[in-house]
């Protein structure tokens, strides 16, 4: 009986050892997986570069638009002052009738 238990323990050890050794990755497999990951990383880096340049162009356009809007607002403020002045002059004059 002790002999049977010892045999089963030995067989189990051999089977577990064999299974654990079969899980080792080969250099070729690792290189293939790394190449796949590297190609994906390269594609993502290219896309990030493209998105970054698009974002920078949009930022430049937005800053230019903000500058134009600020100039337009200043011009409107100047014209509003002039129109108010003209309205006051017209209000203070008597009608010709």
Taking only the tens place, the pLDDT of each residue in 33-46 is 999 999 999 999 99
What is the enclosing helix (H) or strand (E) of 36? Answer: helix 27-92
Distance between CA 46 and CA 43 in Å, rounded? 5
pLDDT at residue 36, rounded to an integer: 96
pLDDT at residue 34, rounded to an integer: 95
Number of folded domains that form the chain = 1
| Domain presence at residue 9 | no
| Domain presence at residue 44 | yes
Q: What is the pLDDT of residues 38-96, one digit of tens each?
A: 999 999 999 999 999 999 999 999 999 999 999 999 999 999 999 999 988 888 877 77
Q: Taking Cα atoms as reference points, which of 66, 62, 63 lies closest to residue 74? A: 66
Please tell me the pTM assigned to this model. 0.52
Residue range of the domain that includes 36? 26-91
Distance between CA 81 and CA 78 in Å, rounded? 5
pLDDT at residue 97, rounded to an integer: 64
């Amino acid at each position: 009986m002790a002999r049977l238990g010892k045999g089963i323990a030995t067989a189990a050890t051999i089977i577990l050892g064999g299974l654990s050794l079969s899980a080792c990755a080969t250099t070729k497999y690792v290189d293939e997986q790394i190449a796949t990951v590297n190609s994906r990383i390269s594609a993502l880096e290219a896309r990030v570069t493209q998105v970054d340049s698009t974002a920078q162009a949009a930022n430049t356009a937005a800053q230019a638009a903000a500058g134009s809007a600020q100039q337009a607002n200043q011009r409107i403020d100047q014209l509003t002052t002039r129109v108010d002045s003209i309205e006051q002059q017209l209000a203070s004059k008597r009608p010709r009738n």
